[in-house]
Amino acid sequence: MTSRRALPPGATLGVLGGGQLGRMFVHAAQTLGFDTLVLDPDAHSPAGAAAHAQLCAPYDDERALAEMAGRCDAVTTEFENVPAPSLASLAQDIPVAPAAAAVAICQDRAAEKAHFERAGVPCAPYAVIETREQLAAIADDLLPGILKTARLGYDGKGQVVVADRVALEAAWTQLRNVLCVLEKRLPLKYELSIIVARGADGQVVNLPVQQNLHRSGILALTTVPAPDVTQSQSDQAIARATAIAESMDYVGVLCVEFFVLEDGALVANEMAPRPHNSGHYSIDACDLSQFELQVRTLARLPLVTPRQHSPCEMVNLLGDLWFDGGREREPDWGALLALPGMHLHLYGKKQARPGRKMGHLTVTAATPALARERANAAAAVLGLQGF
């Protein structure tokens, strides 16, 4: 991002991607007085429905990118698998944050882990597998492990748990012999995530550390304040995420997920060059959300550290809720909203599918214990397993 002044209200902010993260970015941008333009191939995208305008085209469409560069004053992305060359192309004419080079690192697990090491941040022992020779040369102490595709894996997809060499070879075949990373399985206690925002001037602020619970590889619950995280672990997570951002000269919102091991040590798992599912609670429980931070970094507005004003639980609402014994139905939103402390966010997706993120619920209360109690009451109403 080149040196420039802050963008004034009325300027146009563009976003590549029309999903729920883009939708919430659009809402935050509009609150601050910006016009918004979404590029997404889906004419019915959630972000496009909320934005001032949408370009309906593939992310690598040269004509659409040229139009976006002509109509926008700055552009960001809402997901990491947008083609990095598209970001680089836009950056020739207008500011783009995060930059193509940073997004490219986050698109590739092998590059991501190498970057963690360059930044001095511990991650699980791993090896890159691209050939049968590399497969055969895997060290014994990396097994048992988890084999993950280097690209396009998310929410537990593209990964296979492997106990031994026979299972490893079978898993690589199952994953079609694509470039993979084998990670050693570690004694995990739980996962936490931290969201930092870094401005073009190098200033960094962060949201509180978030403790995450996954079910079937998909985030189910985020709790803030993180109940099991010590002050030392929190400080470590913030420092390490900051080091990762600074070593990429990153501009924008960055989420880094860490595994907490049984001995209390933190190892980096992965990062996302955008707002993150685990940070959605910030809309309702903080005085500054991750999406406003994204707008501020893009528009070069001042960054201030967000303050959490309410203990909370954030519950993911997956498409499974829309089905009962195979029959499609609408969840009982009325009964849910009759409970105190409920903040319901539905993403406007036209079709529910099992495992699809359809919305989220942030539950706020005066104390962490009451927030958990209310989250369990909400889960009972929705037919979810309790927490």
Q: Is 23 annotated as a binding residue?
A: no
Residue 148 known to bind ligand: yes
Rounded distance, CA 8 to CA 35, Å? 11
353 known member of a binding site: no
Tell me: is residue 109 an annotated ligand-binding position: yes
Closest CA to 43 of 30, 33, 57, 31: 57
Contact criterion met (CB below 8 Å) for 221 and 281? no
> Any known ligand binding at 214?
yes
CA angle at residue 190 from 251 to 322, to 5 degrees?
80
Has 113 been labeled as part of a binding site?
Answer: no
The annotation status of 269 as a binding-site residue, yes or no, is yes
Amino acid type, 126: Y
For residue 158, say whether it is annotated as part of any ligand binding site.
yes
Q: Is residue 270 part of an annotated ligand binding site?
A: yes
The helix (run of H) or strand (run of E) holding residue 205 is strand 204-206
Any binding-site annotation on 357?
A: no
Q: Tell me which residue of 168, 122, 113 sits closest to 144, measured CA to CA.
A: 168
Q: Rounded to whole angstroms, what are the CA distances from 358 to 172, 331, 351?
A: 32, 12, 9
Q: Is 277 one of the annotated binding-site residues?
A: no
**186 assigned ligand-binding residue:** yes
DSSP string, 261-314: ETTS-EEEEEEESS--GGGTTHHHHBSS-HHHHHHHHHHT-------B-S-EEE
The sign of the torsion formed by the CA atoms of 243, 248, 252, 257 equals: negative
| CA–CA separation, 32 and 296 (whole Å) | 9
Is position 155 annotated in a ligand binding site?
Answer: yes
Torsion sign (Cα): 109, 77, 81, 2:
negative
345 among annotated binding-site residues:
no
Binding site, annotated residues: 109, 148, 153-159, 183-186, 191, 214, 269-270
Binding residues for ATP: 109, 148, 153-159, 183-186, 191, 214, 269-270
